[in-house]
Chains A and B, each alone.
Chain A
Amino acid sequence: MSELLIKNAVVCDPLNNINCEKMDLSVKDGKIVESVSSAAKLIDAGGKLTMAGGFDGHTHCAGKINVGRFMSPHDMRMNPIPGLSGKVAPTATTRAQVGYNTPNTFAIGYRYSKLGYTTITEAAIPILAARHTHEEFESIPILDKLGLTLFSSNWQVMEYIRDNEPDKLAAYVAWALRSSRGYGIKIVNPGGGEAWGWAKNVSGLDDPVPNFDVTPAQILLALAEANEKLNLPHSIHIHCNNLGKPGNYETTIASMKLLENVKTSRDRQAVHVTHVQFNAYAGTGWRDFETGAPMVADYINGANHLTFDLGMAMFGPAMTMTADGPLEYANSRLLHAKWSNQDVELEEASGVVPVTYSSKNFVNAVQWAIGQELALLVKDPWKVMFTTDSPNGGTFVNYPEAYTLLMSAKKRAEIIEGLPELAIGRMALPGIDRELDLYELAIMTRAIQSKMYGMATKGNLGVGADADIAIYDINPDSIDTSVEHEAVKKAFSGTAYTIKSGEIIVKDGEIAATPEGKTYWVNATVPKATEDAMMVNLVQKFKRYYSVNMANYMVEDAYLPHPVEIKTEAI
Chain B
Amino acid sequence: MQIVTLSLKEQNIVPIEADTITPDNFAGKSTDEIEAILVYYGNSQASIGELFNVSVDGSDSVENTKIIFDGNVPRVKRIGQGMSAGEIEINGNVDMHCGSNMTGGKITINGNADSWVGCEMKGGEIVVNGNGGYYVGGGYRGEACGMAGGKITINGNVRDFLGEHLCGGEIIVNGDAGLLPGISNSGGTIIIEGNTTMVASEMKAGTVVVKGNVAEMMPAFREEGTEEFHGVTFRKFTGDVNVGGKGVLLVK
A-side interface residues toward B, CB under 8 Å?
Answer: 71-75, 77
Contacts and interface: CB of A to CB of B under 8 A. Distances in A.
Interface string B174-207: 0000000000000000000000000000000000
Contacts of A74: 140-144
Among B140, B142, B143, B144, the one with the most A-chain Cβ atoms within 10 Å of its Cβ is: B142
A77 B97 CA distance: 15
12 contacts: A71-B142, A72-B142, A73-B140, A73-B141, A73-B142, A74-B140, A74-B141, A74-B142, A74-B143, A74-B144, A75-B142, A77-B140
A74 B144 CA distance: 9
Contacts of A77: 140
A71 B143 CA distance: 10
Nearest to A74: B142
Top 4 closest A-B pairs, CB basis?
A: A74-B142, A73-B142, A73-B141, A74-B143
Interface string B128-170: 0000000000001111100000000000000000000000000
Contacts of B143: 74
Nearest to B204: A336
Nearest to B140: A74
A74 B139 CA distance: 10
B197 to A, nearest CB: 26
A71 B141 CA distance: 9
Nearest to A337: B144
A32 to B, nearest CB: 44
Contacts of B142: 71-75
Contacts of A72: 142
Contacts of B141: 73-74
Nearest to B141: A73
Contacts of A71: 142
A77 B142 CA distance: 10
B contact patch SS: loop
A73 B143 CA distance: 8
A327 B142 CA distance: 22
Nearest to B144: A74
A318 to B, nearest CB: 15
A73 B144 CA distance: 11
A299 B48 CA distance: 66
Interface string B10-40: 0000000000000000000000000000000
A164 to B, nearest CB: 49
A77 B143 CA distance: 10
A71 B142 CA distance: 7
A75 B141 CA distance: 10
B184 to A, nearest CB: 11
Among A71, A73, A75, the one with the most B-chain Cβ atoms within 10 Å of its Cβ is: A73
A75 B144 CA distance: 11
A73 B165 CA distance: 15
Given A73-B140, A74-B142, A74-B143, 9 more contacts: A71-B142, A72-B142, A73-B141, A73-B142, A74-B140, A74-B141, A74-B144, A75-B142, A77-B140
Nearest to B186: A336
Contacts of A75: 142
B68 to A, nearest CB: 30
A320 to B, nearest CB: 16
Interface string B65-98: 0000000000000000000000000000000000
A15 to B, nearest CB: 43
A73 B140 CA distance: 9
Contacts of B140: 73-74, 77
Interface string B222-240: 0000000000000000000
B156 to A, nearest CB: 30
A75 B140 CA distance: 11
A104 B233 CA distance: 53
Interface in B91-147: 140-144
Among A71, A72, A73, A74, the one with the most B-chain Cβ atoms within 10 Å of its Cβ is: A74
B136 to A, nearest CB: 19
A74 B138 CA distance: 13
Nearest to A75: B142
Nearest to A71: B142
B71 to A, nearest CB: 31
A392 to B, nearest CB: 19
A75 B142 CA distance: 8
Contacts of A73: 140-142
A74 B140 CA distance: 7
Nearest to A76: B142
A348 to B, nearest CB: 26
B116 to A, nearest CB: 14
A340 to B, nearest CB: 12
A71 B144 CA distance: 12
A426 to B, nearest CB: 28
A74 B142 CA distance: 5
Contacts of B144: 74
A73 B142 CA distance: 5
Nearest to B145: A74
Interface string B208-230: 00000000000000000000000
A72 B139 CA distance: 13
A565 to B, nearest CB: 40
A316 to B, nearest CB: 15
A286 to B, nearest CB: 19
A333 to B, nearest CB: 11
Nearest to A70: B142
A76 to B, nearest CB: 8
A134 to B, nearest CB: 27
A196 B242 CA distance: 24
Nearest to B139: A74
A28 to B, nearest CB: 43
Nearest to A356: B144
A356 to B, nearest CB: 10
A72 B143 CA distance: 8
A339 to B, nearest CB: 13
A72 B144 CA distance: 10
A440 B140 CA distance: 44
A38 B179 CA distance: 75
A514 to B, nearest CB: 22
A338 to B, nearest CB: 8
B34 to A, nearest CB: 24
B3 to A, nearest CB: 33
A65 B29 CA distance: 45
A181 B141 CA distance: 36
Interface in B53-74: none
A321 to B, nearest CB: 16
A77 to B, nearest CB: 7
Nearest to B244: A336
A433 to B, nearest CB: 39
A566 B194 CA distance: 71
A355 to B, nearest CB: 12
A358 to B, nearest CB: 14
Nearest to B143: A74
B38 to A, nearest CB: 13
